[in-house]
Structure 1
């Protein structure tokens, strides 16, 4: 979920979230209605009079809960907030499931949850989820402040503006991370493989929910990036394909890297564009082990050769899409192993505007594989260059002559990747490093101080990001394979 929470794992989805359309699976509807009825019972059960008013029979398993509530109401040394207590009871039930994708949201959190898949919002633009009491990044949104700041999948957000996130739900974390456009938020981030947490200051912005980006190269290979599965993504994809067809598209790279998931109905509609009629798109297994298959219909299919790009930020709805393309459409997957989220969530609103999102089923690939916590291995594994994984440099830090730190070492690696010569890459800011910074500043039109800070740091990370885009080894491999297919079909 991005600081919109979502399936999004989408897709994430506080975590990635898949909203299942009820008419798709009649069997699931039964279980969802049953669960909702049980929730409503609990919401009304605090006070026997209300239960009697709606003609509901007492349930013995709730006696302990009633007793605890009555004791608190009668004996607690201060006045209690009834609403807060009831909300806490519901939240406690969901927490006890030990499921990062099940979550209770109050009115404000629920409002943001619905907003995250249907409109723009203001924040940093990163899907997050709670895992074992910690908040971690599922994926930054394309073009967002989070992406520009260098946040990456699996980064752990330890604190927001000095407030620890330990033990918080993703919904609670979202409220701290989001904020008005133009305001700053300081994140304390721990990245795997680094010794010390990073302090990252990000300026919030409006995050539009535009999810499909298409371009064509000179060989008529279209590159279509899908950044999440939101309310209009399927329509956006259809439009993009039509535009590429008008430009003479001969083949297509579908890119769901860093896509944390989203709405299941969108993933189904999009997958249906490529999978032959009658083939399985995916399967759903309920809590009794019963399986239901979703199959492709007879709508018009895309016929040009296709490959799909995936990585560790491809989650949930992205994985449903990728698995169906691989197993039912015979499409080659290129990149790195996906995130590994194999469960389906449903969001149910309470009358007061609050919301409960909970896991209702497993989803399985067309061949019946459950990829939860395993991910999907690509057919062709291709990694990005090492410099694509370098951590964020804080522009507020002042790295200069005689500085010694891990940040200096990362700065040296960035300079080296961009063709400068900082001397030995060892974390020590020596004369060679200073000269490399001055050379970079001169080329960038920045005052030549030899200090890596402020505008220099921002420009360094911007140039590196552009280099990563220009040297996208995964995309290059996809285009190579498609050009081979074009050649073989032409001959």
Structure 2
């Protein structure tokens, strides 16, 4: 920011600074600014000797200064100096080619701070820039994004028909977020499908409730941690106490679709499971220095525990998973995790803007770097294929003779729910119509055999409920816990 001030000072190039000292000695400082560097010369009046103070030249900046001056003086319209500086900093950070380092203007930084506070308004999806694409890391539990069927690794191609490829994650967030009750239309591309899916999602208040606890059968408690924000450790402690009061005998920690968050929260939670003195995480800096964080004394969880992970488990959730696996011998069940093995820090500027950059890489307790590789579970269990069925736009209407991918998705959903839609081919025939009518009757909807509006929303919700009720990853975790009882 000091360089920014010096550039602005150059507009008063021959200004003199008058300083009164003792015998009214006057020192005049002439700031000589050129594309080759900056030199500060002190001229003396009186019987004192002149003093020269040199600021080291930064020749690598000469091209930057030259470009700034050229645009400032010769661009056909008056330029916004702040925008030029913001753009230069953003460009520098982008040149790192690191999706986890970025520059945020004041507006973008304010939005980011909202996301780790009590709540914000939007669709509720964690995104990142990856190779020029905006990719979903994970939707937030219970959010409009999750209800709409957005999944980890979905690419967002357009927002309200505006192409966002090449944008930073912060720029995309500003387009996607909005006031509760307003709608946003996203064009989504899935890794396994070349065709895009259009989703119109109604924005809502996104509460940052990060811990969800429930008691299953036989004293098995399942606690889901959806992200790591300021109060996650405290919320987990409260949930653990509630489950203990209900007779908890064993525990499932669910880190699926957890995109990460605050490192200190993950470390505090890991400390509940990792024995005192054993490593939780290692942080390696560019000079090769390694800083180890070991578990401290305190309350420990001493009941059988299993941790669930999947491809949406990233960053801080991977730190927790790696810690409990390698230092506490806790089994990991599910799918391979996302693979984010770097640590970021942020620097705030006086104007409210912010630079976030990668300052180190983190290693598991045994020294493994999982970046771009992920953590393999001890017991691999995937969700069924129908868990990846594409979203259906409720605003569209499908009836006999309609043909589309949406129809095919509806047929797959109806089949899973036991309504026999006939051949799964994307063609809305009489068998599809009969299945839709049976579904509408069972759900007390208007029976007309047309797939649209409330019927479409109800069908997608029922599939989601079915997946949760018949979750093979949870079932496997319970099976593993039962072995240890």
Q: CA deviation at 1:57?
A: 3.8
Which residue does the alignment assign to 2:424?
425
Which residue does the alignment assign to 1:200?
199
Which residue does the alignment assign to 2:384?
385
**Where is the strand percentage greater, Structure 1 or Structure 2?**
2
Which residue does the alignment assign to 2:213?
214
SS in 1 for 2:218: coil
Kindly indicate whether residue 7 of structure 2 is the aligned counterpart of residue 46 of structure 1: yes
Which residue does the alignment assign to 1:375?
374
SS in 2 for 1:434: helix
Number of aligned residues: 447
Which residue does the alignment assign to 1:3?
none
Q: CA deviation at 1:43?
A: 3.6
Alpha-carbon distance in 1 for matches of 2:342, 2:213? 30
Q: Within 5 Å, which residues of 2 pair with 1:55-134?
A: 57-134=56-133
Alpha-carbon distance in 1 for matches of 2:450, 2:299? 58
Alpha-carbon distance in 2 for matches of 1:262, 1:424? 44
CA offsets 1:201-225 (integer angstroms, 9 cap, x no match): 1111101111001111231111000
Q: CA deviation at 1:44?
A: 3.5
Which residue does the alignment assign to 1:35?
none
Q: CA deviation at 1:260?
A: 0.3
Q: Which moved more, 1:406-415 or 1:252-261?
A: 406-415
Kindly indicate whether residue 466 of structure 2 is the aligned counterpart of residue 467 of structure 1: yes
Alpha-carbon distance in 1 for matches of 2:440, 2:221? 36
Which residue does the alignment assign to 1:302?
301
TM-score where L is the length of structure 1: 0.89
> In angstroms, what is the RMSD of aligned CA positions?
1.5
Q: CA deviation at 1:236?
A: 0.6
Which residue does the alignment assign to 2:154?
155
CA offsets 1:228-255 (integer angstroms, 9 cap, x no match): 0001001111111111112221110000
Which residue does the alignment assign to 2:365?
366
SS in 1 for 2:484: helix
Alpha-carbon distance in 2 for matches of 1:254, 1:261? 14
Q: CA deviation at 1:192?
A: 2.1
Alpha-carbon distance in 1 for matches of 2:391, 2:276? 46
Which residue does the alignment assign to 1:321?
320
Q: CA deviation at 1:310?
A: 0.2
CA offsets 1:3-40 (integer angstroms, 9 cap, x no match): xxxxxxxxxxxxxxxxxxxxxxxxxxxxxxxxxxxxx3
Q: Which moved more, 1:205-214 or 1:242-251?
A: 242-251
Alpha-carbon distance in 1 for matches of 2:379, 2:133? 32
Q: Which has the larger radius of gyration?
A: 2
SS in 1 for 2:100: coil
Alpha-carbon distance in 2 for matches of 1:195, 1:382? 26
Q: Which moved more, 1:362-371 or 1:51-60?
A: 51-60
SS in 2 for 1:328: helix
SS in 2 for 1:223: strand
Q: Which moved more, 1:316-325 or 1:475-484?
A: 475-484
Change (3 A) 1:55 1:181: farther
Alpha-carbon distance in 2 for matches of 1:143, 1:160? 21
Alpha-carbon distance in 2 for matches of 1:110, 1:43? 20
Change (3 A) 1:45 1:129: farther
Alpha-carbon distance in 2 for matches of 1:446, 1:453? 11
Q: CA deviation at 1:446?
A: 1.4
Q: CA deviation at 1:46?
A: 2.6
Q: Structure 2: which 5+ runs fail to align?
A: 11-30, 32-37, 41-52
SS in 2 for 1:228: coil
Kindly indicate whether residue 352 of structure 2 is the aligned counterpart of residue 353 of structure 1: yes
SS in 2 for 1:214: strand
Q: Which moved more, 1:119-128 or 1:211-220?
A: 211-220
Which residue does the alignment assign to 2:339?
340
Alpha-carbon distance in 2 for matches of 1:245, 1:344? 34
Alpha-carbon distance in 2 for matches of 1:385, 1:457? 21
Which residue does the alignment assign to 1:452?
451
Q: Which moved more, 1:330-339 or 1:50-59?
A: 50-59
Alpha-carbon distance in 1 for matches of 2:7, 2:377? 51
TM-score where L is the length of structure 2: 0.90
Alpha-carbon distance in 1 for matches of 2:328, 2:171? 40
Which residue does the alignment assign to 2:25?
none
Which residue does the alignment assign to 1:11?
none
Alpha-carbon distance in 2 for matches of 1:140, 1:166? 20
Q: Within 5 Å, which residues of 2 pair with 1:152-191?
A: 152-191=151-190
Q: CA deviation at 1:194?
A: 2.4
SS in 1 for 2:97: coil
Q: CA deviation at 1:56?
A: 5.1
CA offsets 1:288-334 (integer angstroms, 9 cap, x no match): 22211111111121111110000000000000000001000100000
Q: CA deviation at 1:41?
A: 4.2
Which residue does the alignment assign to 1:17?
none
Higher relative contact order (CA 8 A, sep 6+): 1
Alpha-carbon distance in 1 for matches of 2:81, 2:312? 41
Q: CA deviation at 1:42?
A: 4.3
